[in-house]
Amino acid sequence: MKNNINILEVSSKNLSIYSFLLFCVPTVTLLICIQIHIIHYDLNSFPFTDGEFSVSFIGRQEKTINFFKLGFIIFIIISVLFHFKISNFFSLKKIKNKFKLLGILSNIFLFIYIFSLGKDSSIYEILKRIGIILFIVTMYINHFYMIKILKSQNIINFKKIYLSFLYIIFIFMTVLIIIGMPWVNPLFAYPDKLKNIVEWNYFLLTIIFYLPISTLFYQFYRLKKS
């Protein structure tokens, strides 16, 4: 029993760190890539509101592509570790879950997108589109599943304020998915700027989601340690 508590303590600490890194790594990667564009390509824009360029545009340029891909490969590795750790955490609590499956799927789709980015071929364009669409869908399902598990299991002193934050983030994600849904159809003439605004803000919400999770598991770690 004591050994099980120690494992939960270490696991919750790791989950807090991984969650924080899942926010920090892509944020730093994108901010540096944007800064490179400002310096080398004389590009001044705030894509979250003006939609002048997409995430792909930022990532596929000559001076940014290697750094962009490296940053998101690191993100993929951390994300897989996070999903395996959180699956094991709940398994120790005798709670069956599908975090490993969801984590593997979402990161496979993100890897397909990253691998296809910057390659000049119609097949890579198709792969990139499929990869990003399925990544968006699986991350949406993943976050919904996370909220469902945390809400239904009163096991980690989940304060209502954190649940409220997660609900708000998820509601905005839902709104953006509804707005961006027509883009999935390649025959629909979806405005580029609107698509870019939806893309940037959806991804921002996706990674902000990990901040309350990080705080939650840190508090659980402190509780077990005391």
Each residue of 129-168: pLDDT tens digit?
899 999 999 999 999 999 988 877 655 555 677 788 899 9
The values of phi and psi at residue 62, to 5°, are -55, -40
Q: Into how many domains does the chain fold?
A: 1
Q: What is the pLDDT of residue 187?
A: 67
What tens digit of pLDDT does each residue of 195-221 get?
Answer: 889 999 999 999 999 999 998 888 877
pTM of the model: 0.89
Range of the domain at 198: 2-225
Cα Rg for the chain, rounded, in angstroms? 19
Assigned token pair, 16? 């807090």
Rounded distance, CA 129 to CA 165, Å?
30
Handedness of CA 132, 138, 139, 140 (dihedral sign): positive
Q: How far apart are the first and last CA of the chain?
A: 17
